[in-house]
Amino acid sequence: MAYIAVLGHGVVGSGVLEVLTTHTESLKKRAKEELIVKHILDLRDFPDLPYSDIFTKDFNKILNDPEVQIVVEVMGGLHPAYDYVKACLENGKSVVTSNKELVASKGAELLRIAQDNNLSFMFEASVGGGIPIIRPISQCLAANEVSEIAGILNGTTNFILTKMIREQMNFGDALALAQQLGYAERDPSADVEGHDACRKICILASLAFGTHIYPDSVHTEGITKISLEDVDYADVWGGVIKLIGSVKMLENGQVHIMVCPMLVHRGSQLASVDDVFNGIMVRGDATGDVVFYGKGAGKLPTASAVVADVIDCVKHFKTRKYLFWEDSKENYVADFGSMETEAYVHVAGETGDAAFTAAQALFPNAKRLLPKQPVDGEAGFTVSGLTEAALKEKLVALDERGVRVLNCIRISDY
Amino acid sequence: MAYIAVLGHGVVGSGVLEVLTTHTESLKKRAKEELIVKHILDLRDFPDLPYSDIFTKDFNKILNDPEVQIVVEVMGGLHPAYDYVKACLENGKSVVTSNKELVASKGAELLRIAQDNNLSFMFEASVGGGIPIIRPISQCLAANEVSEIAGILNGTTNFILTKMIREQMNFGDALALAQQLGYAERDPSADVEGHDACRKICILASLAFGTHIYPDSVHTEGITKISLEDVDYADVWGGVIKLIGSVKMLENGQVHIMVCPMLVHRGSQLASVDDVFNGIMVRGDATGDVVFYGKGAGKLPTASAVVADVIDCVKHFKTRKYLFWEDSKENYVADFGSMETEAYVHVAGETGDAAFTAAQALFPNAKRLLPKQPVDGEAGFTVSGLTEAALKEKLVALDERGVRVLNCIRISDY
């Protein structure tokens, strides 16, 4: 028998209990041991549940229970989640978490503690919800050198963009609808500003390349500035706008990592990832591009990923699991300004023609895009073959010449 | 140090050697042991290779070498692959194979022998080439009840269908092109008749549901009858034709399994899987639909999957791996004729209208499809809500009434 404690009985926590109680027999068969939830930590009371009697408000009851071998942390947030997880690992308990903030901020430290104590620290559910991605990267692709990862990692923004693309709903209305449907929170900034996607690409990058990348070292842009005109220009260009988290290993050993909206070609596997779905492309030297697709969030998908980790933990009590990466090092993330880029630029001037002519003076190789529904005084064009710093500088210069830059969206090559 | 023998130095075998020799350091790190290929079995001579001296023509040299712990079988075909693999497992050597014919025909028996001898028998490369699918199904989705799997499992036929859909190339020309490019063999029947896809869906079904399904118990149709008119009708219907291998767990504990061309809605993730790529959808009760996409064949993708299995083997010398299924049982595969179906039917009569009117007498709920390029005397329509047996019977009756049935393609619900 394997005794488990669950920290947090919110959406994911209650889902974990649901999966554990509805699949008891098949889980027992797969784990080769019975899985028993002994404690659930939550500050609230849940008097009407069949398992009401195992709730506790005292974390130390869990920490000091020698029978508990696995602690499932599904509280979210950094504190007290971090403190609890650290204490568990230091006290001989393996930990499974769905908490991407925790893994992105403290992964290297917690993996080190787990290793020192010969325990597992697992987090399949922290990226891509129910999509298996952590394990395939670390294990199935073990015989590959991963060179690049790019993904639609946030379901909320993908839902909003899908509504903008498919139904010409503007950003504000699409966000309001997402909130109404429970896909977006009242304060949607973690999603729409790209912070959630940033944590996830940091976790994937740390795992794939073996060195921790902290979210604050990543150039991150959200989708709040995207207009229906941009959607139209993307269509004319031949694709759609998606919020992409990407990381690429450069030849000098540095990584190019960023989160930003990107134009994705219609033929790309990522272009057809719609609504709240996630899609993650892993590029390996031997496998080529492999794409994982599925629901990136939600109670049961996330809970099933947590429980799969629990099963793996139980099967590996005697041998610590394979996940590991080193702490960050200096100059590991490449300077964003020096990266070469390709982008679509949306500008406004006295007339569209005048704005484009002014742009051409700065971007000699600019290619104009002609939208299906032109807006007076606006123009759109693509530029390539310059660095991020040069692009930024030229956009400022454009503004100084009286041409307003409405948006600038990078172009992906996948 | 872990000593390996490789049986077969063809496309995949030479790829395995390439991956092992170009990634030596990173593989050592991941496996936590050095991987050394000690023998390569092949009847041919390869005098110019840097590792020419480790070739042998004598299988017994490998079988009787106590240092060899892992045997990689990449010969293909059933004999002598089966005999060699069985002998290895009976003599204390774990086996990794890419041989789908072997796993589909002998999987249950070989898994049993592996289990009895506390060894690993692994075959990630047998389905989906470099796409991680065996391990995710068996492990990551451990906390799910898988209810259905459907996939584009054969790259050659998908390449041919893509050419027919995108470039209006007819079947014969597309096949000839596939042969010219090396995607199809001189005798293409294993691919175009669906046998290759059948072996793969048998492996996935056996793994997901725990009971071996042999290929000869599976209703299998190929793509040789598909015409450009069918492609046009599919387009009007709202989708594309794909060769799909599918298996579904029924409520009575039987499985509905088949391989046939199907109409797939344009919005489906499987519809955008083009060219030689594979896409596999796994439907779980908790995760919902998860799709895995990538190159389903090729030297390096397949070799990297083989080597990933080797690494996993090395890490689990002391604990047999998790893969297992029981041998087949009677009445496990549901009677194909009694399955409910939905299909598109393509017919020819004196006129298209007359053919459709005759069809309506037999299929009262038939819905006519009007193609963009109508052909004199032909009609297309969809039918639903009947069993496979009833459909077959009615198509015979239609023929008896002077309406020729040109094709009948099932409609998918994913």
Distance CA B245, CA B261 (A): 9
pLDDT band for A381, please (50, 70, 90 cuts): very high
**Would you please indicate which residues of B are annotated as catalytic (active-site) residues?**
200
Q: Is the peptide bond before A80 cis (omega within 30 degrees of 0)?
A: yes
pLDDT over threshold 80, residue B321: no
Please tell me the least confidently modeled range out of A246-250, A370-374, B21-25: B21-25
**Average of per-residue pLDDT across A133-141:** 82
Q: Please report the sign of the dihedral spanned by the C-alpha atoms of residue B112, residue B114, residue B117, residue B120.
A: negative
Sign of CA dihedral A291, A292, A295, A298: negative
Q: pTM (2 decimals)?
A: 0.93
Q: Which residue is associated with the tokens 């289990």?
A: B115
Question: Is pLDDT above 80 for B76?
Answer: yes
Cβ atoms of residues A344 and A411 within 8 Å: yes
* Beta strand ranges found along B156-238 (DSSP E): 219-220
Put simply, whether A335 touches B (Cβ < 8 Å) is no
Query: Does residue A205 sit at the B interface (CB-CB below 8 Å)?
Result: no
β-pairing verdict for B378-387 and B340-348: antiparallel
Question: In whole angstroms, how far apart are CA B334 and each of A134, B248, B252?
Answer: 36, 10, 9
Of B77, B75, B74, residue with least CA distance to B305? B74
How far is A92 from chain B, CA to nearest CA, in Å?
22
HSE, side-chain direction, 13 A CA sphere, residue B59: 16
Token pair of B83 as six digits: 């005999």
Nearest-5° Cα angle at A307, B115 to A22: 95
For A4-15, the pLDDT digits (tens) are 999 999 999 999
Amino acid at A240: V
Nearest residue in chain A measured CA to CA from B303: A286
Place of tokens 């929170």: A185
User: What residues form DSSP beta bridges with B148?
Assistant: B248, B283
Over 80: is that where the pLDDT of B140 sits?
no
Least confident stretch, A22-26, A128-132, B229-233, B259-263: A22-26
Q: Taken in order A297, A303, A304, A310, is the CA torsion positive or negative? A: positive
Give the Cα separation of A323 and A253 in Å (integer). Answer: 21
Q: Is B141's Cβ below 8 Å from some Cβ in A?
A: yes
Residues of A numbered 24-43 whose beta carbons fall under 8 angstroms of chain B's beta carbons: which are they?
26-27, 30-31
Buried b (16+ CB within 10 A) or exposed e, B340-364: ebbbbbbbbbeebeebbebbeebbe
User: How wide is the angle at C-alpha B277 spanned by C-alphas B272 and B280, nearest 5°?
Assistant: 75
Residues 6+ apart with CB under 8 A from A303: A12, A15, A16, A18, A19, A125, B143, B286
Chain B: closest CA distance from residue A375 (Å): 31
| Residue partners of A305: CB distance under 8 A and separation at least 6 | A98, A124, A125, A129, A130, A131, A132, B140, B143, B287
What is the pLDDT at residue A222? 98
Chain B, window 336-395: residues with a beta carbon less than 8 angstroms from a chain A beta carbon: none
CB neighbours of A349 closer than 8 A, spacing ≥ 6? A355, A358, A377, A379, A402, A403, A404
* B368 φ, ψ (degrees, to nearest 5): -80, 145
∠ CA A129-A134-A139, nearest 5°, is 150
Q: Which amino acid is at B414?
A: Y
Instruction: Give me the pLDDT at residue B398, please.
Output: 97
Mean pLDDT of B142-152: 91
pLDDT in tens, A286-321: 889 999 999 888 899 999 999 999 998 998 776 655
Q: What is the pLDDT of residue A322?
A: 62
User: What's the CA gap between B354 and A119, in Å, rounded?
Assistant: 73
Distance of CA B244 to the CA centre of its chain: 9
**Interatomic CA distance for residues A4 and B392, integer angstroms:** 54
Provide the 3-class DSSP secondary structure of residue A105.
Answer: helix
Given A106, A200, A242, A248, the catalytic residue: A200
Q: How far apart are the first and last CA of chain B?
A: 47
Q: What is the pLDDT of residue B322?
A: 62
State pLDDT tens for residues B346-386: 999 999 999 999 999 999 999 999 998 899 999 999 999 99
pLDDT tens readout for residues A25-76: 888 888 888 999 999 999 999 999 999 999 999 999 999 999 999 999 999 9
Structure tokens at A34: 């019975």
Residues B31 and B28: their CA atoms lie apart, in Å, by 5
Q: What are phi and psi of B153, to 5 degrees?
A: -110, -5
Percent helix, strand, coil in chain A, to 5, is: 40, 25, 35
Integer Cα distance of B72 and B122 in angstroms:
10
Question: A195 to chain B, minimum CA–CA distance in Å?
Answer: 24
Structure tokens at A161: 């963009």
Q: What is the pLDDT of residue B345?
A: 98
Q: Is the peptide bond before A188 cis (omega within 30 degrees of 0)?
A: no
d(CA B5, CA B122): 15
Residue A326 CB partners (closer than 8 Å, separation 6+) = A108, A210, A211, A212
Beta-bridge partner residues of B410? B262, B343
Assigned token pair, B13: 């075998």
Q: Which residues of B touch A289 (CB under 8 A)?
A: 294-295
What pLDDT sits at residue B318?
A: 63
Q: Which two tokens stand for residue B184?
A: 């199809």
Q: Mind listing the pLDDT tens digit for each residue in B265-308? A: 998 889 999 999 999 999 998 889 999 999 888 899 999 999 99
> Residue B216: which pLDDT band, with cuts at 50, 70 and 90?
very high
CB A143 within 8 A of CB B19: yes
A345 or A135, which is more confident? A345
Q: What pLDDT does residue A181 have?
A: 92
CA dihedral B188→B189→B192→B196, nearest 10 degrees, is -100
The first and second tokens of residue B191, run together, are 């691919």
Encoded tokens for B356 = 């459709």
Report the alpha-carbon distance of residue A134 to residue A147 in Å, rounded: 16
Q: B284: which residues sit within 8 A by CB, 6+ positions away?
A: A130, A304, B141, B144, B145, B146, B147, B290
CA–CA separation, A385 and A388 (whole Å)? 10
Q: Give pLDDT tens digits for B230-253.
A: 999 999 999 999 999 999 999 999
B265 touching A, CB under 8 A? no
Span of A110-119, B128-137, B211-220 with lowest mean pLDDT: B128-137
The pair of three-digit structure tokens given for residue A309, joined into one six-digit string? 């980790």
Looking at residue A318, what is its pLDDT? 63
Judged by CB atoms closer than 8 Å, whether chains meet at B293 and A294 is answered as: no
Are β-strands A367-369 and A378-387 bridged in parallel, bridged antiparallel, or unpaired?
antiparallel
User: Can you tell me whether residue B126 is helix, strand or coil?
Assistant: helix
Structure confidence at residue B31 (pLDDT) = 85
What is the distance between the alpha carbons of residues A95 and A105, in angstroms, rounded to a whole number? 16
- What letter represents residue B328's amino acid? S
Signed CA dihedral, A96, A100, A106, A111: sign only = positive
Judged against a pLDDT cut of 90, whether residue B51 lies above it is answered with yes
The tokens describing B330, both together, are 């009677």
Give the closest-approach CA distance of B322 to chain A in angstroms: 8
- Which ipTM value was assigned to this complex? 0.89
Residue A104, pLDDT > 80, answer yes
Task: Report the share of chain B in percent with pLDDT over 70.
Answer: 98
- Give the mean pLDDT of A173-186: 94
Amino acid, res. A208: A
Show the beta-strand stretches assigned E in A250-355: 255-265, 277-284, 288-295, 340-348
Q: Which two tokens stand for residue B145?
A: 């009840």
Quote the Cα angle for A161-A298-A81, to 5°. 110
Q: Is the pLDDT of residue A402 over 80?
A: yes
**Closest to B125 in 3D by CA, of B181, B184, B76:** B76
Q: At what angle do helices A171-180 and A155-167 cross, to 10 degrees?
A: 130
Question: Which residues of B are less than 8 Å from A124 in CB distance?
Answer: 140
Domains of chain A: 2-129+299-315 (3.40.50.720), 134-295 (3.30.360.10), 337-411 (3.30.70.1150)
Q: Is A178 helix (H, G, I), strand (E, B) or coil?
A: helix
Among A162, A235, A124, A139, CA closest to B304: A139
Which candidate in A127, A287, A320 is best for mutational testing of the B interface (most B CBs within 10 A)?
A: A287
Joined together, the tokens standing for residue A111 give: 């993996």
DSSP-derived 3-state class of residue A371? coil
pLDDT digits (tens, 9 = 90+) for A230-288: 999 999 999 999 999 999 999 999 999 999 999 999 988 899 999 999 999 999 988 89
For position B299, what pLDDT does the model report?
92
Q: How far apart (Å, rounded) are the C-alpha atoms in residues B75 and B83?
A: 12
Give the pLDDT score at B30: 83
State yes or no: is A200 an active-site residue: yes
To probe the interface with B, which of A135, A152, A207, A304 has the most B CB atoms within 10 Å? A304
Residue of chain A nearest B266, judged by CA positions: A272
